[in-house]
Structure 1
Amino acid sequence: MAFVDVIKGLLGKAGEELAAQPGFDFQADSHGLNFYLPKAAFVALQEGRGSTLQKVQLITLRMLEEQGLANPLPNGFMVLEADLAGLEAEQADLLRLPPRLPGSFAAQISGRTGNSSFRVALHLKMTDGNAPFTRKGPLLYLTSTEAYRLTPAELMGLLAWEHHQELQPEQRGEAANLRLMAELQTAARSGMRIDLSHFERLDVVVPQNIGVVATRLPDGSLLLCPSLGNGTTPDQLEKRWSQLDMGANDGVLRIDNRVVLLDPQKMAAIKEVLSNKRIPADKVAEFLTTPSAFLDAALVNLDMGFSIRVAGIGKLQHMDFGDQDTQKSDWFALDKRPASAAIILKLVQTPEELARLQEVYASAKEQGATSLTFAGQLIDVSNPEQVDKHIQKVQEAFEGATVAPVVEPDEPDEVKETVSVLLRDADDIHQGLLRKAGEAKPFREPDWDAYARQPFPHQREGVEWMMKLLGAAIQDDHANLYRLQGALLADDMGLGKTYMSLVTVGEYLAQQKAIHKSQKPILVVAPLSLLENWEDEVDHTFKSIPFRDIVVLQAGRDLNRFRVKGAERESVQVASLADEDGQMDGEAIRYALTIGPEAGAQRLDMDRRLVLTTYQTLRDYQFSMCMIDWGMVIFDEAQNIKNPNALQTQAAKGLKADFKLLATGTPVENSLGDFWCLMHTAQPGVLGGWSQFRDNWIKPILHAPEDERDAVRRKVGAELRDAVGIFMLRRVKEDQLKGLPSKTIHSGVAQPTGGLLVHTPQLSRGMKGIQLKAYDAILSDFRELRATEDMRGTALMALSQLREISLHPRLREETQLMTNTAKDAREVMAESGKLTVLLELLDQIRQKHEKVILFMVTKRLQRLLKLWLDQIYSLNVAIINGDTAAVAKKADILTRKQLITAFEAKPDFNLIIMSPVAAGVGLTVVGANHVVHLERHWNPAKEAQASDRVYRIGQTKEVHIHLPAVLHPQYDSFDVHLDRLLRGKLMLKDAVVTPEAVSENEMIQSLGL
């Protein structure tokens, strides 16, 4: 199928118009695809001249470049094969790439895996039979014109197969042959459609390290056995060591249907254990105390132990937090729009109800009514034929009803269980914690001359608070579950939590050095977008950096340096290896990072090292991270560990450290349960276990009458602050930074008297034209569907459509909305009431020569607005979303922070487009003083975080936050309902709770379904 036909089929009439326009050509090579234009055409396109297709392709390719996925060429871009294979379908369509492969592969295997004659031939099976193929980069060619784009799994499998095909006969040993089968199995599990014949039943594994299992014999001696970390027992292994050629560098073990590949390092470790197999009885105590005196710790993984809080490793048990209380809201104007007569099929459940309905209906017909109310539901009866038809269906169902046969339930599907560190829970409130903390004193006077920046008064106070608790924690008994061990820095955004944390780390290391104690490594866990910010803050905070070095433990940076070769993520564990109590044998645990003294110079946990990582990396390598003895652990944007059922939260609680500092400007996002979880991580015992916390602080709010609930919330907030006492420091910006200019939040939706938002009517516009027509069509469709559909899924889909139409009624017709001139761009934007408001607002901001951030989530809208606003204001608008690089990977790729620097450096009016999720934390953009939330986030805490990117230390202009809205002429619109729901979740500043989020469950409850 030709590329033009693909685009036409995907995009219909718009696709036909698009396919007719000139776009980038591309050519496949062995590495990927080169997208190019003639040099003159490429220069013209960069100057704003070119076809609509070329312009949107250029935007798409530049967004890929910002992600580090495209490399610029003199007249185009080069994208690697792996990145193209994983490209989103929407982006692939815009670049006119071929469709996915419709066929599947079959492996024809000949020879034994132990022989060099072993071969694997791959055949491509299409609907009309087998087809020959060739691969160029991410494309599979069947002919010179018929091509398909490979998936990541297909590319993985084909690359492994091609590599094996290129091996010389002497290189095709059993290990290489089995490795090919393992890689093909992995590709199949990842989605490659391939028939591996009898090898489907073979499980090929590569051990991450070799440990040791000790069995005590009757005479008191110990028998040592190498452990492969995959659950194989010593008895199973004892019978199979003879399979290994002890003179060879590598080896292969067959254990039932499992094949274990051993590289030279693993073979050396096995030989080390087997050569020291017996520990005499009189040496057992010495061996248990110092195993490294008997075995080479550089080869064999020896247990280093977890923190006092870790009880073991096993299946994670879910914690039930109960339902949330949510008011009902008529999002679809159902009270004003009668339901279809088809809803009778759902409302009438008994013959008695049918009789009552018939009576009500007969009365309505006599009165000439077009609607009636039954079972609390307004029903459209304007079409008597439809009503009679549905009543007849219900009547026939009752008349034909019989006793249904008893059907045995199907066997439940196998539930994938999660393996994590298991915690010794601090279920009780330890009354002595507050007393011990209150008596603590700072362990030293900060040497402020050692720092490049002098603190504000509130920052000096914050450092002294941290040092007081840190000093007490260092001295407390580390073997006591209820020891002093952490705190929550809940300062408002923009007060310098990063600076205060780094100063405290510097003082901790200096004190450890002064008293001749180990300067343990420091761990910072933060969202990906903040890692670069932490690196920069180190340079700006210290005159002389106290760290040995800085390691960014993240893919694309330093993670591969410290990963055990061939190791998978530790979160990929085998739950079946857990015993009946849910725990795993320590020998079955796989560690994927090079830690401990046996790792030598490659160990991650070097003294004085600053390790920066993300919550996802902590989750994926939690067992290794929990083994390390950290000095201080800092959790930046700690609301990321608010969920006690998340693996990253379990890992955070299990980390071993002298002191844990949780830093967040939003200590609660969803409920008071978030605050409990954060404090339970920072200082277990101060609020007790979940059941105690729920009884003491949650239930009083839930059981309070609606008109008293705000007062009860304030009372509970005050009680919680008293309960945590010194373990939390909470200051708000307005109280601490007296020099900050004013901040005003303007809303296009009318606000209640005394609210925090200012109603600004100019920020709202009524729907009209195609926007009103599209919006009403969704309401009507929902009214019809709710008669027969599962309303939960239907309602959420309809809400998503209403949200989209509120932005622009033709947002899904992206190709038809691409414009060539500023005049055309303004006309297309005028189809939306909200975008009309946006243009008026931007024109006003331009007249003031000020800068603005536009926040929105939808990527399609981000791309279109960049195109339109570039044309209208002659700008090159940057987009920062989840695809934009957070950490520098290549010198020519701009990161989020660099894009912001360029945005602020431009004099006069400028604007930038951001996602509130990707750019909502950590970044400072004080060059702008206007924020527009074009698409509001469901979570008001994230919305506030995003807004406060401009309201921080260094801001000199008055800050304005704009919340535009589009209104319906008859009913409350989507924007009105969302504003009401988010406003209802906001807590007063004197409560410990900051804005709550809106969960999907709460959204469903608010619909009244």
Structure 2
Amino acid sequence: MVEHDSWVRREGGFLLQPRHQTGKAILATLLQDGDAAELSDGVFVSDERLAEFAAWELRALELPEAGPFRLEIRGEGPIASNGFKLKSRLLRHDGKPVMGGNRDGVLLKSGSRQYMLLDPLYSILEAIREYQALDPADTDGRFARWDAIKALLPEDAVVDQQLQTIQLVRADAFTLDVKEDASFDPVLLSRGRKQTVLEGEQPEPDEALPDAHHQTFTDRFRRMSDAGGHYALGGGWYVVVPEQTRRALSVVHRKQKEPGAARQAFIANPHATLRDELGEEIDEEVLENLFVEQPRFLSSRVQCLGQWHPKLCAYVSNKGNQWLPEEADAFSGAHTVGVPLGDQFVTLPLQDAPDLYEQVRGALEDGRESVNYQGTSVPVNENTLKTLSKLVANKSKPDKPPKEPGTDDDEEDEELVPIVIDNLEELGYAATRPRRAGQPGGIPAALATRHLYPHQQAGLSWLQTAWVEGMPGVLLADDMGLGKTLQTLAFLAWMQEQMESGEHPRKPFLLVAPTGLLRNWEAEEETHLVSPGLGDLIRAYGKELAELEADGLHRRTQRLQEADWVMTTYETLRDRIHTFMPVDWAVVGFDEAQKIKNPGSRMTEMAKSLQSDFVITITGTPVENSLSDLWSLMDASHAGLLGSLKEFRDTYQKPAEEDGDTDRARALRALLEDEVHPPAILRRLKDDHLEGLPGKSAHELREEMPPRQAEAYSIALHKGLQGKGTQGAVLEAIQHLRKTSLLADSLDETGVTDEIVDASARLRATMRALDEIQAKGEKALIFVEYLDLQEALIPYLQQRYNLAEQPLRISGRVGGNERKRAVDAFQSRPVGQFDVMLLSPKAGGVGLTLTAANHVIHLSRWWNPAVEDQCTDRVYRIGQERDIHIYYPMALHPELDENSFDLTLHRLLERKRDLSRQVLTPPQVTQDELADLWRQSTSGA
């Protein structure tokens, strides 16, 4: 026993009898806090508590001074071997070792001197002592003890090279990285020792391993027969797994190897499974800290993860003309088939199937997300490849429908996706309206474009008011070319100001748009906002998506959550929903939101599975084919406002579409625009005479059919009249009239010649218009859906107008990059120089700005006037400096005159266009209207 006038050394501590008032006050505090024990002959304080003392406290209690030492640690042998030994010694400030030192707990005797070993020296030396006492065969225990030692080491500790390079990771907890195919891997977590937490709180866990070492761990975890207590990962990295964590991971290891249904059951509620299988082994509270259930979905609209299957929705009108080819080689006689690809039904020539298959297969290998086919963005994934492979295999039997993905042996391969409350049959989910902080109004400081047109200022104010009033979302449905992008960017900049001022928590924005428009959004953000604009951008599509998904689940979600704004495509959102679902978004914007107009499609339901404070659906055509389009858009932005789809169908859709009740359509518009404050939809049309728009003139170019064309038209008409009168026969007859109204005969290898032009009323009228446009030195767009005619017109127009280069062309066969190059080239050609571009209505009618032209010729008419207006809007928009002219070439039969097909169709489209402007009704021509079109076209025949 070592004694002093004011202290006595006892086993495990000191018996203190201070003589000074300061020392007595220190002991009184220790006794009050329970850190000391009062005995008959003094106050006992343990070594562990004394090691925490400051130098002045030692002096006040007349204890030995603190030892001015550093620690040297070295290892002998490989750390993972049984023969490894850990050696340590104390060094003086000059680097020389302390000689003859004898340590008794916190007290060190060196010669005639005594020192107190304060932390971290004391705790490290005790940990080394415990390490050396372990069984050499207890590798897991030694790893765990070294992990504790390393955490205590101060910066000035002298550690040999082997121990310096060792990175020991302790798995305090874990979560699961769930894949789309219902497989999963554990993600090890460590509770950071450097985090500042409140008393009684657990520090938040972080991913324990960098990505490369995490992959090594998961590979070795799967290969082992059971979960281990430690893992050597290479490069000096070791994972230490405490026993309780190991037991829980053992359950995960077993579940990894079970069939798909059992894995899905585990994923659905992993905590319950762990609790049931571990039983009494691990206390419930301990298990709560061991397994961290990451939010795989945040939205209260998501019910669970499961396999998604197409829904047959009885409340979606199918009266549109899906039999009509969207873009075809109509004059070369190509046989076509229909096939479901992604969320769309694609019509393609049968001989194109092998080429499309190879195109998709190559894109899949390159990591691309979609390919363009005839104006349709075809998703690049395994399901598309399977569908096309079956079509190629059965191409000798074109009438046999291809086998659908997701049947028979495909079932096991289907991935897990969020299953949402769809509101189709009944209203199961309605968004709430909590009022938010802030005041609407004002132009954000980051807006570089300080001058907004009055309607744009009103649009920004409407968005701000909707936000403050707590609306879950809105539908911005302005006509194309009125600045929807600018209004949205201005609102997002205002939202950032709200977050920076503390009015709203900081969260990222997500913008979903067609692939071809993403670069345009970036360009608009750079143009309209002061640098740095919206801030840090993550492009979650294409190659950058692959880099993002290379991160672990926790880190990937963290990166997205910490971004300022994120952009992705609809196809990526649909196929990689697990990347976006765990993020809490401030605002989600859906540009060209008609992509989610189908209420029962997977793309639509994935869009509705996101958690966000506010949704903006953005489209110039809120109703394309059916009022169910509008319901789907509103259900995404303000779920519950229009009730369930079944209720909507009975109340509005059926009366308006099938019964012709325009009062019901007006009542629907009143509900959205007048009965909700602020309005749930904002729709301004160019016909409202808004400031900033050019003048617009429409020209009907009526031309009498030449004899050969009139004869072909009469033959087609009489053939139709002699038909069976069935719906299919009538539709076929209309197609024949439509075709012969443009060209009487199929094109051959000579293409378009002067003789072909002279034999077509529409082509003659078109060339006369182009002659006048050339004389003015202006530019024109020609919209025609027939690909073979497009191709044939290119050399003809170049020769006729002596153009230095071939006319540019945009169709569904032109990829996104080529499309942008064509637009940039056309826009940059000299003012005052005639030029012409050929476009397909569907491929060239969305997302392109072609204001270098101010003439639009609709050489072939589209069945939906909304699509036709989209084409015109490529030039008719804010930023157009010249008045625009729209031309409708129409072929008149010399005997039928006003009952000619072109004129009858023109009147029908104009009626549909006018009605859709007055009330929200679908402009798509219905089969009943086509039957009436046939009756009018045959009147007088």
The residue aligned with 1:680 is: 635
The residue aligned with 1:353 is: none
1:991 aligned partner, one-letter code: Q
Equivalent pair of 1:554/1:614 in contact (CA under 8 Å): yes
Deviation string 1:502-551 (CA, Å, 9 cap, x unpaired) is 12112222322332975333221122332221111011011112444434
2:832 aligned partner, one-letter code: P
Aligned counterparts, 1:298-697, within 5 A: 302-312=294-304, 313-314=306-307, 315-321=309-315, 323=317, 416=406, 421-425=418-422, 427=426, 442=439, 445-448=442-445, 450-473=447-470, 484-515=471-502, 519-555=506-542, 557-563=543-549, 596-599=553-556, 605-697=560-652
Corresponding position: 1:940 with 2:865: yes
3-state SS in 2 of match to 1:633: strand
Deviation string 1:839-870 (CA, Å, 9 cap, x unpaired) is 11111122222221111111111111111111
Equivalent pair of 1:741/1:957 in contact (CA under 8 Å): yes
Equivalent pair of 2:863/2:924 in contact (CA under 8 Å): yes
CA distance in 1, matches of 2:279, 2:530: 53
* TM, length-normalised to structure 2: 0.56
Corresponding position: 1:843 with 2:781: no
The residue aligned with 2:782 is: 854
CA distance in 2, matches of 1:493, 1:967: 32
Equivalent pair of 2:513/2:591 in contact (CA under 8 Å): yes
Deviation string 1:464-493 (CA, Å, 9 cap, x unpaired) is 2212222444xxxxxxxxxx3111112222
Shift of 1:212: 5.9
The residue aligned with 1:807 is: 742
CA distance in 2, matches of 1:596, 1:548: 23
CA distance in 2, matches of 1:874, 1:784: 47
| Partner of residue 673 from structure 2, selected from 721, 724, 739 | 721
CA distance in 1, matches of 2:482, 2:422: 33
* TM, length-normalised to structure 1: 0.53
Equivalent pair of 1:941/1:994 in contact (CA under 8 Å): no
| Partner of residue 925 from structure 2, selected from 991, 998, 1006 | 998
The residue aligned with 2:373 is: none
The residue aligned with 1:89 is: none
Aligned counterparts, 1:147-226, within 5 A: 210-211=184-185
Aligned length: 597
1:597 aligned partner, one-letter code: H
2:811 aligned partner, one-letter code: N
| Partner of residue 879 from structure 1, selected from 795, 798, 809 | 809
CA distance in 1, matches of 2:320, 2:526: 47
Deviation string 1:102-135 (CA, Å, 9 cap, x unpaired) is xxxxxxxxxxxxxxxxxxxxxxxxxxxxxxxxxx
Distance 1:282 1:255, change over 3 A: closer
3-state SS in 1 of match to 2:615: strand
Equivalent pair of 1:316/1:422 in contact (CA under 8 Å): no
The residue aligned with 1:756 is: none
The residue aligned with 2:33 is: none
CA distance in 2, matches of 1:983, 1:420: 43
1:998 aligned partner, one-letter code: V
Please, what is the CA RMSD of the aligned residues? Answer: 4.4
Unaligned runs of 5+ residues in structure 2 are 1-178, 189-220, 235-252, 261-272, 322-401, 408-413
Equivalent pair of 2:783/2:840 in contact (CA under 8 Å): yes
CA distance in 2, matches of 1:859, 1:693: 39
The residue aligned with 1:897 is: 823
* Greater Cα shift, 858-867 or 613-622: 613-622
Equivalent pair of 2:315/2:646 in contact (CA under 8 Å): no
Corresponding position: 1:772 with 2:710: yes
| Partner of residue 745 from structure 1, selected from 694, 698, 701 | 698
1:559 aligned partner, one-letter code: L
Distance 1:416 1:795, change over 3 A: farther
Equivalent pair of 2:320/2:924 in contact (CA under 8 Å): no
Equivalent pair of 1:805/1:811 in contact (CA under 8 Å): no
CA distance in 2, matches of 1:499, 1:431: 30
2:739 aligned partner, one-letter code: E
Equivalent pair of 1:826/1:872 in contact (CA under 8 Å): no
CA distance in 1, matches of 2:484, 2:861: 27
* Greater Cα shift, 672-681 or 771-780: 771-780
2:781 aligned partner, one-letter code: I
CA distance in 2, matches of 1:607, 1:1003: 53
Deviation string 1:770-816 (CA, Å, 9 cap, x unpaired) is 323333343454456648xxx55555455444333322233442x12
CA distance in 1, matches of 2:569, 2:184: 28
Amino-acid identity (%): 32
3-state SS in 2 of match to 1:520: coil
Distance 1:455 1:637, change over 3 A: same
* Greater Cα shift, 798-807 or 986-995: 986-995
Aligned counterparts, 1:233-248, within 5 A: 242=225
* Greater Cα shift, 638-647 or 513-522: 513-522
Aligned counterparts, 1:787-826, within 5 A: 791=726, 795-813=730-748, 815-817=749-751, 825-826=753-754
The residue aligned with 1:291 is: 291
Equivalent pair of 1:596/1:628 in contact (CA under 8 Å): no
* Greater Cα shift, 915-924 or 440-449: 440-449
3-state SS in 2 of match to 1:746: strand
The residue aligned with 1:396 is: none
Corresponding position: 1:962 with 2:887: yes
CA distance in 1, matches of 2:498, 2:618: 23
Shift of 1:496: 0.9
Distance 1:415 1:908, change over 3 A: closer
Corresponding position: 1:834 with 2:767: no
CA distance in 2, matches of 1:917, 1:539: 28
Equivalent pair of 1:520/1:629 in contact (CA under 8 Å): yes
CA distance in 2, matches of 1:711, 1:1002: 20
Equivalent pair of 1:808/1:832 in contact (CA under 8 Å): yes
1:318 aligned partner, one-letter code: L
Distance 1:834 1:922, change over 3 A: same
2:741 aligned partner, one-letter code: S
Equivalent pair of 1:938/1:997 in contact (CA under 8 Å): yes
Distance 1:598 1:921, change over 3 A: same
